[in-house]
Structure 1
Amino acid sequence: MAKTVVAEADRRRRRPTKQGVLLSEELIVETALRMVREHGAAGLSARRLGLALGADASAVYRYFRGMDDLTLALGNELIRQALAGWSARGDWFEDLYRLGLRIHAAYLAHPQAAVLTASRVSGGASELAVDEAILGSLREAGFPDPEAVRVYHVFIDQCLAFAALDAASLVLPEPALASDRGIWRSTYAQLPSSTHPHLAATAPLLAERMNDSAYPAALRMVLESAAARLAAG
């Protein structure tokens, strides 16, 4: 049975935790993000979280209905961090380009949490705020609603897909990550043109580019395509 969730004012502990602080949603999310960063998603549990907070594990359920509810809150927090310091400046193209890069960077700053949350929809306040900002930029630029929704869909899914892809590489063990990155020079660069003419011809360029994220270029391609459609009416 789902736990009863009470109002924020009624949730605070009457006594401090062992660390001398009062519990709050913000503190729990902050601690959970740290635990996921240090131990991975498998290391996050109510028991371990309670120990880290200096509180009983059951205290977590006064703020969240369950661990999945907390997972959604982690995703919402990553979006909140991306939005911090961002504001629309009136140029929809550059506004969305900056916002996309900020969301991608916020997820990569917490790669374990990114892998855990990039595919989820939280419905949290920050997620709603970023969706409102994206759609507002597009509609105010003159995109009809069906086109604004189409561009929004591609924009946000592309951003989160790249965040998950790039974060997944960052959480690999260092030997595996180094091996993957070295393949472009150790294997691709050694291919003979007699069997792989196109790979052989482009091997130096592949080695130069393929260990960097393609997201900035992909994001600009999407926005350029949207701009061309808008200009064409």
Structure 2
Amino acid sequence: MATPERIPVERRRRRPTRSGSLLSAEAITEAALTLIEAPGGNALTVRRLGAALGCDPSAVYRYFPDTDAVLLAVADRLIQDSLEGFAPGGGWREELRDFAQRLHRSMLTHPRLAAVRASRVTTGPAEARAVDLGIGILLRAGFPPDRAVRNYRLFVDTVLAQAAVDAAVLDLDEERREQQGAAWTTHHAGLPAEEYPNLYAVRDHLALMAGALLPEILEMVIDRFAGELEARG
């Protein structure tokens, strides 16, 4: 079978399906996102994509080499959505906060894809734009190129890791989410002092273990960056 690179762009972008709609990389990406987010829709297969699009499953291979490539394209599409309306222009601290909150919101909106977005490199245009914007914020803040890159990695991996944890909890069914949130006060707070003296000492405060962490984590990272800039003069 011919690879996508050998097929003219116009053929790859405009191939009618059995339903009469036009098949494209964008249509496949949208169908994949719908399948993933449907109840019980964690398994993404070419066969399911073909059924959803009303085309022969093999037609998907004209646009993507495999389902992993489709998954990365979906992740890149979600990065693009999260950046919609982002406009650098304020102070670097405010820009980093806005950038982080957009990523976090997007991952909680699509929790089943959070792990992919936190761990994979999509190589897509939206990811490239996000990295370009993030590093640009740090360059304008005054970091030299090597520290801008390193600090962007520190910043974005911290945000993505916390978002992935929050998204995983959000993707639990309602009963398990409630159990997760109440475990600190219903179980850990009741453990005996003889075996768990430190937990017992702070038992009245263990509800804090279930609270949102991103705002505090973000301020810690930003304060660290500010301290580094101050040390550099």
Q: How many residues align?
A: 231
CA shift for structure 1 position 124: 0.6
- Cα 1:41/1:56, change in 2 over 3 Å: same
Q: Does 1:10 align with 2:7?
A: no
Q: Which structure 2 residues correspond to residues 190-201 of structure 1 after superposition, within 5 A?
A: 190-193=190-193, 195-201=195-201
Q: How does 1:126-205 map to 2 (within 5 A)?
A: 126-193=126-193, 195-205=195-205
Contact conserved, 1:73 with 1:122, CA < 8 A, in 2?
A: yes
1:104 alignment partner in structure 2: 104
CA-to-aligned-CA distance 1:6-35 (integer Å, 9 cap, x gap): 3442213443541x4212222211211111
1:127 CA drift (Å): 0.3
RMSD over equivalenced CA pairs, Å: 2.1
Shift of 1:63: 1.4
Percentage of identical aligned residues: 41
Could you tell me whether the CA contact under 8 Å between 2:13 and 2:23 is conserved in 1?
A: yes
**Matching of residue 211 in structure 1 with residue 210 in structure 2:** yes
Partners of 2:104 and 2:8 in 1: CA distance: 33
Higher relative contact order (CA 8 A, sep 6+): 1
Q: Do the aligned partners of 1:191 and 1:200 also contact (CA within 8 Å) in 2?
A: yes
SS at match of 2:48: helix
Structure 2 residue runs without a partner (length 5+): none
Q: Distance in 1 between matches of 2:198 and 2:2?
A: 57
Distance 1:193 1:2 in 2: 68
**Letter of the aligned partner of 1:175 in structure 2?**
E
Change (3 A) 1:28 1:22: same
Matches within 5 A, 1:65-104: 65-104=65-104
State the TM-score, normalizing by the size of structure 1: 0.89
Residue type matched to 1:74 in 2? V
Deviation at 1:200, TM superposition (A): 3.1
Over 3 Å counting, the alpha-carbon distance change for 1:67 and 1:191 in structure 2 is same
Give 1:73 shift. Answer: 0.7
AA of the residue aligned to 1:221: M
Change (3 A) 1:40 1:93: farther
Counterpart check, 1:230 vs 2:233:
no
SS in 2 for 1:43: coil
Matching residue of 1:51: 51
Is residue 38 of structure 2 the alignment partner of residue 38 of structure 1? Answer: yes
Amino acid of the structure 2 residue aligned with 1:58 = S
- Kindly provide the CA deviation profile for residues 75-114 of structure 1, in whole angstroms up to 9, marking residues without a partner as x: 2112111101111123111101110111111111111111
Q: In 2, Cα distance between the equivalents of 1:196 and 1:87? A: 50
Q: CA deviation at 1:132?
A: 0.4
TM-score (ref. length: structure 2): 0.89
